[in-house]
Structure 1
Amino acid sequence: MPHLVTLAAPDLSLDVNLLDYAVLALYFLTVLGIGLAARRAVHTSLDFFLSGRSLPAWITGLAFLSANLGATEILGMAANGAQYGIATVHYYWIGAVPAMVFLGVVMMPFYYRSKVHSVPEFLRRRFNGQTQLLNAITFAVAQILIAGINLYALALVMGALLGWPLMLSIVVSAAIVLAYVVLGGLSSAIYNEVMQFFVILAGLIPVTVLGLIKVGGISGLADKVRRSALGEPGLHAWQGTASGDNPLGAHWIGVVLGLGFVLSFGYWTTNFAEVQRGLSARNTNAARLTPIVAAYPKLMIPAVTVIPGLVALVLFSDLGKPGGHQYNDAIPLLMGELLPNGVLGVAVTGLLASFMAGMAANVSGFNTVFTYDIWKAHVKKDRPDGYYLRLGRWATVGGVIAGVGTALIASGFSNIMEYLQTLFSFFNAPLFATFIIGLFWRRMTPWAGFWGLLSGTVAAFASYILFKAGVLDFGTDLNATFWGAGTAFVVDAIVTVIVTLMTAPKPESELRGLVWGLSDTSIADDSLRGDKAWYRSPVLLGAGALVVGALLYIPFF
């Protein structure tokens, strides 16, 4: 994984002028304006936490994607491109899109039709309140920690590029996110994420195009990569994966099962920060289409992350070398080298937008889970709706303040990308095991859900601690993450089966609409006119995304 630590501030500082700052100021004002506009539509807690379940698929789909375009996507994947070459596309074409399609086609109907507010609430209905509380606490902790990563990474970039002090960058960014989420709730976050998606592209596309022109186009880039430290292997995705002799140092089994199955499905299908966008859709079909709409642009994101990473590798001879720039400097170096003022302001704004979109997703997920799955479910039940609306706003304030604190925690890690991937192996991999078994095996019992999830999470922690202590040798941090996720999944599955055989299941009447093969006949068809048109079929569009992903691999096999 890339070593996302400090940026070399002295020689990365950009020559920004008033025009660039004007672009930044316009962005801040637009973000706050969207928050104020969205506030007028917030009358109930459902409006605040799930946008009243009223948004069309193209809005929720772009927000779904934008919520993921945070620190790791922009800086981290460009750094991966420079360090590992074309093999980085695995994180998109096998490590994201198949899981996104599975979420839309298979899992989203269960989430949406059950009318739950969150993933932990779904676990309560499928299993019990103890499983809900366990997942709610671990999710809330994870979102605060990841929000801190986004804030810290943003502070590093702003400090390096604009010369802002670390704490000033953290506080200003946190305050902007706090303002628009508190004002307009999830609607504000989603509409800002849609706007931020286009701002991010507006910042990254010029970097990609001008970078390719500078190195002589695609063919010129390929020639220069062959003469770089990566060599010919840097231009291939699967070559050498049968032996592990490739830039990633990974075997195809680890890529397919570790990344493509456990980590990918664990993240995309159970991470409420993403699923929440689908739950805000106007009907079941729109909810199913949400991750599938997002899958198509996701297939193309490597063009503005991986390619710039390769361009930086061949343009800056000291990249990744001792005493030189780090791989994480790839995007900032290209911005300073290629972009004129004005366009530079757009690019800096795009970076800022990516971090803020990621943090807003973390905070909006946190306030919903804290309010509904911790406070309402286990502390103060049966209060008026206005009480929970106010609590949600206060939870947003608390979440942002806690995010500022965890940003300082993130600053103590030498590799925050490793830190992030470790969090995913702790919390997402075991949750996916509990979910997928509970979805397809109706015999799985309520206490199997709790003990399976708890044991899988503990196993992931134990695997990480033993690796860091030198007791287990997984080789690289990347492989340790894959093994940790796999261990969590297997332990969770084994414990789930054992506890299921020792405890009583729920009656089928309580499982209708929550498990495969037991539909809830009481739920009316919520389709709108046009939903059943062939071109709006989630299955057809999902299959199309998978085919496009497979075809994209062909030139880079």
Structure 2
Amino acid sequence: MNILEVILFIGAVVGVIAIGIWKSRDEDTSGEQGASDYFLAGRGLTWWLVGFSLIAANISTEQFVGMSGSSANWLGMAIASYEWMAAVTLVFVAFWFLPKFLKAGLYTIPEFLQYRFDGVARLSMAIPAIVTLVFVTTSSVIFSGAKFVSEYYNTVPVLNSLTAMCWLIAIFAAVYVFVGGLKACAWTDLVWGSALIVGGAIVMYMAFSVLSEKPAEELILTKVANSTATVADLETASAWERFMLLNDGVEGEAVALEGPNGTGGKVHMVRPKTDSDIPWTALLIGLWIPNFFYWGLNQYIVQRTLGSKSLAEGQKGIVFAAALKLLIPFLVVIPGILAYNLFSGDLLNAATGEYDYDRAFPVLVRNLIKPYPMISWFVLAALCGAVISSLASMLNSASTIATMDLYAKFSGEKNPAKLVKIGRGFVVIFVLLAALVAPALDNFTSIFAYIQEFQGFISPGILAVFIFGFFSPRTPRYFGAVGIGLNVISYGAFKWLIGPWIVTNGWWYAEQIAFLDRMAICFFIVLLAGVILTLVKPMEKPVEMPVNDVIVLESSKGAQICGALVVVATIALYAIFW
């Protein structure tokens, strides 16, 4: 281990965290605005802080490990739909969701359900949200961060221990969010978001450089089964042409079904309807559900937009983040595919003899970056910072929900200083629970699939309820809790009972119902229930939502133009990689 690399790495991480805490020094967490200052950064975030914070909170080793692993496996570019469709989703969130949330002056997303529906609906969202944040997203980020570090330093005692690294990362992140609050998160996110993009670009550039120089005889062994590439083709091709030749299947066979050497190509977005992960049918409806839920209703993402200085600043920040999302597949997904093309042998698990695809990005970094300490410290610091910032954001949001939606609601506590102390207490509790769960995630084949499957029980019902909350003022109040509960039951039924029965009887076009298709089915079930309840017994008077007259609610015309350009660019990317 190079001592210079270690010194620069530690200095960068500690220095950025110090900047975040220093920038939050003027926040008065003990005064009348203490809760607002700690949980929402005093509602003073500018567009560039919002934009980079959204990206840094979202992109972590969860993507660099999980998403790269999925792309190294048979999914390839198809997994990029989570990023490119998110860009379009963010544009809608900026002009559809955010105005309603800022107008109501919300601290948390479940708080909206209290005003529009009732307290039961609020709890029906708040409790699963805490469970998801702590046991799914926070624990998975701790795990994927520890997985990356332990794989990179696979010969260094302690650092090569997955369990030890889970605890070290968890404790470090907890101390950071405990002190700084959301404003510290936002300022460190500004640095880490920029560093992530630059660091990812460095890894991708070096991977393509090695690809261009590697002997064609070695590369040909990693091509997909239906690729027509020959050694002669590869010898005369550029790096990008080599990438396409190795991973592009025969025309009409742009799919891969049985692992890295499956029946088609990895550089196509569209996969067959029989695919178990991302069938093309999911692009129509199913994939939009987790996207809208994650970017529009997920507390740890939306919380930084709730802290915007104005509606216009929030919209500009969200659209800026949408533009950055278009870059992410080039920094995460394509390097994952390259990891298999270049270092497939390193992905084999010696103990089991099977591929461990979650090793893809760590293996790429270890082989390409580790020999260059003047570069490696920066890439490592960016990735470590991404873990810390994501964890800080998740812990801050989980504690916000627990404090405002549970503790304050049931205790009636309104003292801001007391609420901040309670929030910090929840941070400690939640990080301990997440750190206990994190090492166990090593038993899952794909950490990314684990996260998405769990969301199926939550996101379709909540999204459907919010749609009625936004656009149907006479839908009965009890529909909030009914809709969320109905989705949990429906998703479980289609996963374990009804779904297998339909498949067994030959009434489905695949061997199983993909989880994204299950999401779509449950989403429409809840929507249908809402329509029926509204028609049968509508409310006599429409619900009146609270109005926050402190925040300027004028929309941004510049953001509208840029948002339209983002949508056009997304369509163009799909056309290129179709």
TM-score range, shorter chain: 0.7 to 0.9
In the superposition, relative to structure 1, how do residues 330 and 415 fare at CA in structure 2: closer, same or farther (>3 Å)?
closer
Distance 2:424 2:562 in 1: 37
CA contact (8 A) 1:24 1:346 kept: yes
1:366 and 2:398 aligned: yes
Output aligned runs, 1:218-229, within 5 Å.
218-226=240-248, 229=261
Output aligned runs, 1:254-333, within 5 Å.
254-259=282-287, 261-318=288-345, 323=353, 325-333=355-363
Residue among 376, 381, 384 paired with 2:412 = 381
In structure 2, what residue type is equivalent to 1:403? A
Distance 1:89 1:445 in 2: 39
Alignment correspondent of 1:494: 528
Distance 2:390 2:560 in 1: 28
In the superposition, relative to structure 1, how do residues 383 and 441 fare at CA in structure 2: closer, same or farther (>3 Å)?
closer
Alignment correspondent of 1:11: none
Distance 2:144 2:567 in 1: 32
In structure 2, what residue type is equivalent to 1:344? S
Question: How far 1:85 sits from its partner (Å)?
Answer: 2.5
Question: How far 1:461 sits from its partner (Å)?
Answer: 3.0
The TM-score normalised by the length of structure 1 is 0.86
In the superposition, relative to structure 1, how do residues 380 and 503 fare at CA in structure 2: closer, same or farther (>3 Å)?
farther
Distance 2:575 2:552 in 1: 40
Q: Deviation per CA, 1:39-98, whole angstroms, max 9, x where unpaired?
A: 42221110000000001011111101111112331122222322222323222222x112
CA contact (8 A) 1:67 1:274 kept: yes
CA contact (8 A) 1:447 1:500 kept: no
Question: How far 1:332 sits from its partner (Å)?
Answer: 1.6
Residue among 264, 269, 277 paired with 1:237 = 269
Alignment correspondent of 2:493: 462
CA contact (8 A) 2:68 2:358 kept: yes
Number of residue pairs aligned between Structure 1 and Structure 2: 522
The TM-score normalised by the length of structure 2 is 0.83
In the superposition, relative to structure 1, how do residues 356 and 406 fare at CA in structure 2: closer, same or farther (>3 Å)?
same
The answer to which of 265-274 and 157-166 deviates more is: 157-166
Question: How far 1:262 sits from its partner (Å)?
Answer: 1.8
Distance 1:375 1:221 in 2: 54
Question: How far 1:372 sits from its partner (Å)?
Answer: 0.4
Q: Deviation per CA, 1:328-383, whole angstroms, max 9, x where unpaired?
A: 22212221222222322222223322322322221111011001001101x21143
Q: Deviation per CA, 1:130-185, whole angstroms, max 9, x where unpaired?
A: 11111111101110012111112222222222242233212221122111211111
Residue among 410, 414, 423 paired with 2:441 = 410
Distance 1:153 1:235 in 2: 25
Alignment correspondent of 1:526: 552
Residue 208 of structure 2: SS of its match in structure 1? Answer: helix
Alignment correspondent of 2:366: 336
Q: Deviation per CA, 1:20-45, whole angstroms, max 9, x where unpaired?
A: 21132113312431343144222111
Question: How far 1:414 sits from its partner (Å)?
Answer: 4.3
In structure 1, what residue type is equivalent to 2:519? A
Residue 58 of structure 2: SS of its match in structure 1? Answer: coil
In the superposition, relative to structure 1, how do residues 419 and 501 fare at CA in structure 2: closer, same or farther (>3 Å)?
same
1:32 and 2:17 aligned: yes
The answer to which of 462-471 and 442-451 deviates more is: 462-471
Q: Deviation per CA, 1:380-439, whole angstroms, max 9, x where unpaired?
A: 114322111111111111121121122144345444322211221112221111111221
Distance 2:509 2:83 in 1: 24
Q: Deviation per CA, 1:431-465, whole angstroms, max 9, x where unpaired?
A: 11111122111221110111111111232233334
Residue 263 of structure 1: SS of its match in structure 2? Answer: helix
CA contact (8 A) 2:274 2:510 kept: no
Alignment correspondent of 1:516: none
Alignment correspondent of 2:164: 168
CA contact (8 A) 1:464 1:480 kept: no
In structure 2, what residue type is equivalent to 1:551? A
In the superposition, relative to structure 1, how do residues 232 and 407 fare at CA in structure 2: closer, same or farther (>3 Å)?
closer
In structure 1, what residue type is equivalent to 2:374? G
Alignment correspondent of 1:511: 544
Alignment correspondent of 1:7: none
CA contact (8 A) 2:103 2:551 kept: no
Residue among 44, 47, 50 paired with 2:40 = 50
CA contact (8 A) 1:69 1:354 kept: yes
Alignment correspondent of 1:177: 173
Q: Deviation per CA, 1:449-487, whole angstroms, max 9, x where unpaired?
A: 111111112322333344898886689899532133123
The answer to which of 357-366 and 141-150 deviates more is: 357-366
In structure 2, what residue type is equivalent to 1:348? L
Sequence identity (%)? 22
CA contact (8 A) 2:66 2:446 kept: no
Question: How far 1:325 sits from its partner (Å)?
Answer: 4.2
CA contact (8 A) 2:115 2:545 kept: no
Question: How far 1:320 sits from its partner (Å)?
Answer: 6.5
Alignment correspondent of 2:59: 69
Residue 311 of structure 1: SS of its match in structure 2? Answer: helix
CA contact (8 A) 1:39 1:183 kept: no
Output aligned runs, 1:373-452, within 5 Å.
373-377=405-409, 379-452=410-483
Question: How far 1:270 sits from its partner (Å)?
Answer: 1.1
Output aligned runs, 1:86-101, within 5 Å.
86-94=77-85, 96-101=86-91
Question: How far 1:214 sits from its partner (Å)?
Answer: 1.7
1:356 and 2:411 aligned: no
In structure 2, what residue type is equivalent to 1:279? L
Alignment correspondent of 1:209: 205
Distance 2:265 2:442 in 1: 34
In the superposition, relative to structure 1, how do residues 365 and 475 fare at CA in structure 2: closer, same or farther (>3 Å)?
farther
Runs of 4+ in structure 1 over 6 Å off: 319-322, 467-471, 473-478
Alignment correspondent of 1:480: 514
Distance 1:278 1:427 in 2: 22
In structure 1, what residue type is equivalent to 2:111? E
Distance 1:250 1:70 in 2: 22
In the superposition, relative to structure 1, how do residues 319 and 480 fare at CA in structure 2: closer, same or farther (>3 Å)?
farther
Gapped runs of 5+ residues in structure 2? Answer: 29-33, 213-238, 250-259
1:550 and 2:571 aligned: yes
Alignment correspondent of 2:144: 153
In the superposition, relative to structure 1, how do residues 183 and 524 fare at CA in structure 2: closer, same or farther (>3 Å)?
closer
Q: Deviation per CA, 1:86-128, whole angstroms, max 9, x where unpaired?
A: 323222222x112111110111000111101010011111111
CA contact (8 A) 2:162 2:439 kept: no
Residue 411 of structure 2: SS of its match in structure 1? Answer: coil
Distance 1:437 1:487 in 2: 17
Gapped runs of 5+ residues in structure 1? Answer: 1-15, 514-519
In the superposition, relative to structure 1, how do residues 476 and 101 fare at CA in structure 2: closer, same or farther (>3 Å)?
farther
The answer to which of 189-198 and 340-349 deviates more is: 340-349
1:122 and 2:112 aligned: yes
The answer to which of 223-232 and 173-182 deviates more is: 223-232
Residue 353 of structure 2: SS of its match in structure 1? Answer: coil
Question: How far 1:230 sits from its partner (Å)?
Answer: 5.7
In the superposition, relative to structure 1, how do residues 330 and 443 fare at CA in structure 2: closer, same or farther (>3 Å)?
same
CA contact (8 A) 1:34 1:192 kept: yes
Question: How far 1:506 sits from its partner (Å)?
Answer: 6.8
